[in-house]
Amino acid sequence: MASDVAAVKVRRRTATPAPVRPRDAEKTKASILKAARDEFCEEGFNGARVDAIADRAKANKRLLYHYFGNKEALYQAVLLDAYQEIRRGERELRISQYDPVEAVDRIIRFTFRHFLANPWFPRLLSVENLQNAKFVKQIKDLDEIRSPIVGELQEIVKRGHAEGTFRTDVDPMQLYISIISLCYFYVSNMQTLSVVFGKDLSQFALIQDREAQAVQMVVDYLRTRR
């Protein structure tokens, strides 16, 4: 009996302590950003609540404040992350390697598909526009949210003109805004447009038609002689 008790004491003294699970800071921050993005898109900036974001992320609210500071800073981080994501995609297009028509085609299809795959992005932009771009203005390095496509479009149009394909009286910024508009509106208003026209605009065939028409409209405009 005494020997059994002694053996237990020895095991307790020599037992390996339970390992402490390391905190994955980057994973936690990513979860909080995703949860915050969903909350802001669904509730708007004013309606979003930090408690709700923490619950969505399954994270301690103290960690949220530790990583991001406050609700305003978290919202700004969500905005910046959203812009950085689409800009990374645009840079990866490497459109300068393509002929002018194909380059424009690829820009339009990428933009349309990015909105389609990330319907939260148009909603987030709508939230920020309701804030009169208050938080976008506070981003320190605006180059992080400016599209590289504008400068690339200028070169594409020049090449297209040199080949006798495109007109030259094109403002690349206005052209890019037109491309965004053709892609953005369909996605951001898909639900209401489906009701108005009595058609489910989320059908794959209709999405394909819309993408093809956007490409055709822009390319035909660029080919119009003046």
The pLDDT value given to residue 10 = 45
The pLDDT value given to residue 216 = 97
What span, in angstroms and rounded, lies between the C-alpha atoms of 209 and 202? 11
Instruction: Dump pLDDT digits (tens) for 119-146.
Output: 999 999 999 999 999 999 998 878 888 8
- Does position 114 have pLDDT exceeding 80, yes or no? yes
Arithmetic mean of pLDDT over the chain: 89
- For residues 26 and 181, the model is more confident at 181
- % of the chain beyond a pLDDT of 90: 79
- Does position 98 have pLDDT exceeding 60, yes or no? yes
Instruction: Dump pLDDT digits (tens) for 146-187.
Output: 899 999 999 999 999 999 999 989 999 999 999 999 999 999
What span, in angstroms and rounded, lies between the C-alpha atoms of 71 and 69? 7
What span, in angstroms and rounded, lies between the C-alpha atoms of 157 and 165? 9
Instruction: Dump pLDDT digits (tens) for 44-79.
Output: 999 999 999 999 999 888 989 999 999 999 999 999
The pLDDT value given to residue 24 = 78
What span, in angstroms and rounded, lies between the C-alpha atoms of 180 and 177? 5
What span, in angstroms and rounded, lies between the C-alpha atoms of 160 and 102? 11
- Does position 7 have pLDDT exceeding 80, yes or no? no
